Amino acid sequence: MDIETINRWLGAMAFLISIITAVGVWIGAPGKKVAAGLEKVWDGLKGHDRRIQAVENKIEHLPTGKDFAELQLGVAEVKGDVERVEETLGMVKHIVQRVDDFLRANK
């Protein structure tokens, strides 16, 4: 092999390498755009994940239907107790009124 043949083969190989590199860059360029877009989407998902976690934490501490039912029963019991106290106070008022009338009449 002489120098000219080697030079031609090196030139052809350099040409093929440059074509392969150009094709690789051309094919890889959209992948970089997609990777940047995916990174934006991933950051958005992280933000949503944090917000969802915050809502879940708040929901954990909210009362359940069972809690509301117990509260309703408790309020009904208190209402009944208040009604009995009102009846008793009505009787006490009546007794106090009779004692007051008696004391005013017997001055």
Regarding whether 57 and 6 lie in a shared domain, the answer is yes
Output the six-digit token pair for 54.
């915050």
Range of the domain at 2: 1-62
Lowest average pLDDT, out of 28-42, 44-58, 86-100, goes to 28-42
pTM of the model: 0.45
Measured at the CA of 28, the angle between CA 22 and CA 32, to 5 degrees, comes to 140
Side-chain half-sphere exposure of 16, counting CA atoms within 13 A: 6
Q: Over 80: is that where the pLDDT of 104 sits?
A: yes
| Residues 1-23 pLDDT 10s | 688 888 888 888 998 998 888 88
Output the six-digit token pair for 47.
């933000």
Regarding whether 48 and 92 lie in a shared domain, the answer is no
Regarding whether 76 and 99 lie in a shared domain, the answer is yes
Q: Give the separation between CA 11 and CA 6, rounded to whole angstroms.
A: 8
